[in-house]
Structure 1
Amino acid sequence: MSISNALNPTLGTTLNYAAHDLKRLRRDLPTLFFSIGLPIIFYILFGAMQEYGDIEFNGGNVAALVMIGMALYAGATGAVGAAGSMVAENRAGWGRQLALTPLRSSQLAVANFLNISVRAILPIAAVFITGGLTKASMQPDQWTLAFLITVVCAIPFGFYGMACAMLIPSENTVSVATSTIVILAFAGNVFMPLKESLLEVGRFTPMYGAQALARWPLSEGSQMINGERLFIEDPLWYAYVNIAVWTVVFVGLCLLLHKRDKERA
């Protein structure tokens, strides 16, 4: 019997199920590539290999700014893939199988949250480690704060993954959901600097607030743009409002779609 089971059988059962669920990730190589391998490649191409990556910036450099953006993309992709897979599996009958086990709904919810969190944290950590081994440079407190905020900003995208899986019930749901994160990342000024005119639209897209907040320990509100000026300043409340609004939208959409599915059943 494990220590967690001995101390608290309910907690032990929850953790055992979460660990069992995570083990299946080893067989899901496409998801691992898109959530870990691709963001690392993007960071190396757009950050570590570029001359502008060495430009000093608020105690760090531009390569670190690119790294944080790629880490956010990695974490969001991991969260979307995990949440979308859960919905797809439940629709395929896995939920009915779990209903026959002693696991309670609250335990399943905790286990699913742990699964999504781990699937978000691992890619973020991988990108940060790659950045630390290459040319990304920040102060120690900036490294810590940027990592923690990136994790907190990435996990809520799990609701986006759930909404996509419920809205598009097909075998390719998860692939579609994770692929659209690339589009949202471009629109949110995560990958390559947008022109100032395009950023005016990008501020209303889902990933703008997440990237602005994740980069804040280093950027202090500066947004990279494509133009004569390299940076413009955005206030912090832009990021807070963006994140709050889109989180409400995604959660509300999940609730509406869940209610629709229950009425159909």
Structure 2
Amino acid sequence: MYAYLRFELRRLARDPRLMLFTVLGPVATYVMFSSMGADGDRFDGLDDAAALMVGLAGYGAVAAVLIVGASVAQERAAGWLRQLRVTPLPSGRAVVAKAVVSMLSALPAVAAVGVAGRIQHHVELSVSRWAALLALMWLGTVPFALLGLAIGYGLTPHLAQPVTFVAFLGLSVLGGLLVPVTYFPAALQHLAHALPTYRFAELGWRSVAGMAPTAAGLGVLTAWTVAFAAVAVLAYRRSTARG
């Protein structure tokens, strides 16, 4: 499994398009828009620059995880998964390795936007808080990795790409990664609190503020993780039966 994991990581590193969209895009957006909103206002105990830093780090992380997970659809169409099934690598471990790779793809976005926040707006955190932020936002990508795999195993490449984009954009906007949910109507605020993207970003916001995750937030993330895992397993079994 570890050899396959290294192979997948090398493939990921050789694809500059992913970094362009998931790292440079959020960093450029942060640099442009954080200066416009950094007026000292507080947002859940954070200033605007720190709050936006976490939101855009989450935006890039979710994009990376979904794109890598959903790329399974192209691998299926190319026959790569059929080749894997005739190797000694168990299918379950191949799926786990792909999920781990998709989660690791989130780290560059979180780190890069964090560096931008430190340089441009002097967002000051202790080493332990930076480490906690990185670790929590990495662990928080689990449901999105499973969603990406569910899309990749369940849909053809022609459908997987637009579905991934719609899921990413909808979850990001409605989950408050780009605009604070305090600006939303009451009904949309309630919806945002039930989405995994809001609770994912909440891990980062609370970490930066020096607070522990909430029980409600962890409960929502766990529920979505279980739901996406069930769909991913079902989609994988069906793709195996077809293949």
Normalised by the length of structure 1, the TM-score is 0.77
Question: Aligned AA for 1:239?
Answer: G
Q: Identify unmatched segments of 5+ residues in structure 2.
A: none
8 Å CA contact retained: 1:163, 1:257: yes
Identity of matched residues, %: 24
Normalised by the length of structure 2, the TM-score is 0.83
Q: How many residues were matched structurally?
A: 238
Instruction: Measure the CA separation in 1 of the matches of 2:225 and 2:207.
Output: 22
2:222 paired residue number = 244
Is 1:78 the counterpart of 2:64? The answer is yes
**1:50 match: secondary structure:** helix
2:205 paired residue number = 215
2:27 paired residue number = 40
Deviates more, 1:243-252 or 1:37-46: 37-46
What's the CA shift string for 1:212-252, capped at 9, x where partnerless? 1221123478xxxxxxxxxxxxx923311211111111111
- Tell me by how many angstroms 1:80 deviates: 1.1
**2:71 match: secondary structure:** helix
Q: Choose which of 147, 151, 154 in structure 1 pairs with 2:141.
A: 154
2:233 paired residue number = 255
- Tell me by how many angstroms 1:37 deviates: 1.7
Q: 1:205 to 1:69 in 2, by over 3 A?
A: same
Q: Which has the larger radius of gyration?
A: 1
8 Å CA contact retained: 1:72, 1:153: no
8 Å CA contact retained: 2:23, 2:60: yes
Question: Aligned AA for 1:180?
Answer: A
Question: Aligned AA for 2:164?
Answer: A
2:97 paired residue number = 111
1:205 paired residue number = 195
8 Å CA contact retained: 2:27, 2:113: yes
8 Å CA contact retained: 2:172, 2:178: yes
Q: Identify unmatched segments of 5+ residues in structure 1.
A: 1-13, 222-234
Deviates more, 1:183-192 or 1:201-210: 201-210
Calculate the aligned-residue CA RMSD, in Å: 2.8
2:5 paired residue number = 18
What's the CA shift string for 1:98-155, capped at 9, x where partnerless? 2343434465345324422321212221221222221151331332222211111124
8 Å CA contact retained: 1:71, 1:123: yes
Instruction: Measure the CA separation in 2 of the matches of 1:71 and 1:65.
Output: 10
Instruction: Measure the CA separation in 1 of the matches of 2:224 and 2:109.
Output: 23
Question: Aligned AA for 2:196?
Answer: P
